[in-house]
Amino acid sequence: MPRRVMQGVVVSNKMQKTLVVRVERRTTHPLYRKIIKLSKKYSVHVEREADYQIGQTVSIQECAPISKNKKWQVLSATTADGGAS
């Protein structure tokens, strides 16, 4: 089974070897048929949390469970302003 890959924004880098990443997705409301944004926060494993700043966009990939809440790891990061350099 392929591993899921998502993009999100770093919200916290205060923990050791862990980032908190917020992933937003757009979906249609089931009753009103309006497009709404839903977001979810994931705990993501990373070896050096100091390399990632709050507000930076990162790609995360599903992996084997590392702890109770960590089931994702960082694939790559883009620049801090969100654009490619």
Task: Find residue 20's DSSP bridge partners.
Answer: 12, 43
In angstroms, the CA 52 to CA 35 distance is: 31
Domain count, the chain: 1
- Would you say residue 26 lies in a domain? yes
Q: What is the pLDDT of residues 1-28, one digit of tens each?
A: 789 999 999 999 999 999 999 999 999 9
- Would you say residue 85 lies in a domain? no
Assess whether pLDDT exceeds 60 at residue 69. Answer: yes
**The domain spanning residue 16 has which CATH number?**
2.40.50.140
Q: How confident is the model at residue 70 (pLDDT cuts 50, 70, 90)?
A: very high
**Environment class of 11 (CB within 10 Å of its CB; exposed 0-12, middle 13-18, buried 19+):** middle
Query: For residue 53, what are the domain limits?
Result: 5-77
pTM of the predicted model, to two decimals? Answer: 0.85
